[in-house]
Amino acid sequence: MRCIRFFSVSLLLAFSPWLARAADVPYVPTPWEVVDAMLKLGTVGPNDYLIDLGSGDGRIVIAAAKKLGARGFGVDLDDNLVRTARRNAESEGVKDRAEFFTRNLFDTDMRKASVITMYLFNSVNLRLRPSLFQLKPGTRLVSHDFDMAKWTPDAKLTVDVPGKSYGPPSSEIFMWVVPANASGQWRWQLSVAGAKFDYDATFEQTFQMIAGAAQSGGRSVLLREARVRGESVSFTLMSERDGRTTRQEYSGRIVGDTLEGQAVIDGVPTPWRATRTRAGRMIIDI
Ligand SMILES: C[S@@+](CC[C@H](N)C(=O)[O-])C[C@H]1O[C@@H](n2cnc3c(N)ncnc32)[C@H](O)[C@@H]1O
């Protein structure tokens, strides 16, 4: 019995390199000029906690720590790369602020992140996408060269890379801000020209885009330019009363089922608070 167990353990150890999970993406380092541009597009600063998914030699986390005072960690399946990244962090004097772990990116707890960086494939980004929507609203996601299909980025940049090892001599950088769920029905009251009016708006949200309809006093009001960026929501209402069009620009911060900020009515700002009376589902699976 002991002999059989010994043989099974030996076999397992002998084949462990083949049993280890294969990398979903090969190792290709992000060129330095692209690293800098990614950190800039992600507005990384000293208060940020950055996680690089598939961290290679650690350059993104190390640059964020050394140049911008951020903290963070990287994960990679390749133990040799993780050791290299640790050595690089030590020689750059940031080993306390830039850590590295041998770990599958799909098993990584990302809740601490305010910024996530990726240089993976589209297919990997898409597998990750549902878990990225579980992160704190406002978390920035910055990806080198690969997008997220129908989830359009909030910002995009092209960087010239004359000596790039594959493809055209340039890199694309995409940035998304994880949106809060603003979908559902919202109600509020507002004073316009001395009179009080009730409003309600129904938001249907797909990723960070909102489509919807609004009403006031039983009449439809045109809803335009609605969008969510992290916890911030903004939209415009164009309402017509007595042959006169009023432009109302709303902006506020969503906290649970309240939306609080200001409404600018024909150029005049006034405080604004709306309450969600019916929850909706944010669509993130197209
Ligand atoms: C294209 S390289 C990017 C390296 C680094 N982020 C950079 O931009 O320089 C992708 C890295 O992801 C790692 N990787 C691939 N699949 C992984 C997985 N499932 N979990 C963790 N790391 C993975 C690879 O070993 C490789 O180092």
Ligand 1: centre distance to CA 76 (Å): 6
The residue whose CA has the least distance to atom 23 of ligand 1 is 54
- Closest listed residue to residue 68, CA positions, set 104, 31, 97: 97
Q: Which amino acid is at 136?
A: K
Task: Give the residues surrounding ligand 1 with Cβ less than 6 Å away.
Answer: 23-25, 27-30, 52, 54-56, 59-60, 75-78, 81, 104-106, 119, 144
Q: Last residue of some domain: 150, 177, 204? A: 177
Q: Residues with Cβ < 8 Å from 285, sequence gap 6 or more?
A: 130
Identify the domain boundary among 134, 151, 177.
177
pLDDT in tens, 200-218: 999 999 999 999 999 988 8
Ligand 1 atom with the shortest distance to the CA of 74:
6
Residue 136 and residue 108 share a domain: yes
Beta strands at 49-53 and 170-177: parallel, antiparallel or unpaired: unpaired
Which range is least confidently modeled, 140-144, 241-245, 246-250?
Answer: 241-245
1-15 per-position pLDDT tens digit: 444 443 443 433 344
Pair 88, 207 in one domain? no
- Indicate if the pLDDT at residue 17 is higher than 70: no
Same domain membership, residue 204 and residue 138? no
* Predicted local confidence at residue 244, as pLDDT: 78
Ligand 1 centroid to Cα of residue 138, in Å, is 24
- The pLDDT score that the predictor gives to residue 20 is 60
Query: For residue 111, what are the CA distances in angstroms to 122, 159, 230?
Result: 22, 30, 15
In ligand 1, which atom is closest to the CA atom of 21? 19
CA distances from 196 to 125, 130, 214, 249 (A): 48, 42, 16, 17
Tell me how far apart the alpha carbons of residues 116 and 134 are, in angstroms, rounded to a whole number.
13
Same domain, 166 and 262: no
Residues 91 and 149 in one domain: yes
pLDDT at 18 over 60: no
Q: How many domains does the chain have?
A: 2
Exposure letters 110-124 (e unless 16+ CB within 10 A, then b): beebbbbbbbbeeeb
Mark residue 225 as left, alpha or beta (left: phi above 0; alpha: psi -120 to 50; beta: remaining). Answer: left
What mean pLDDT, rounded, does the chain reach? Answer: 91
pLDDT in tens, 46-103: 999 999 999 999 999 999 999 999 999 999 999 999 999 999 999 999 999 999 999 9
Question: Once rounded to an integer, what is the mean pLDDT over residues 134-151?
Answer: 97
**Co-location of 133 and 36 in the same domain:** yes
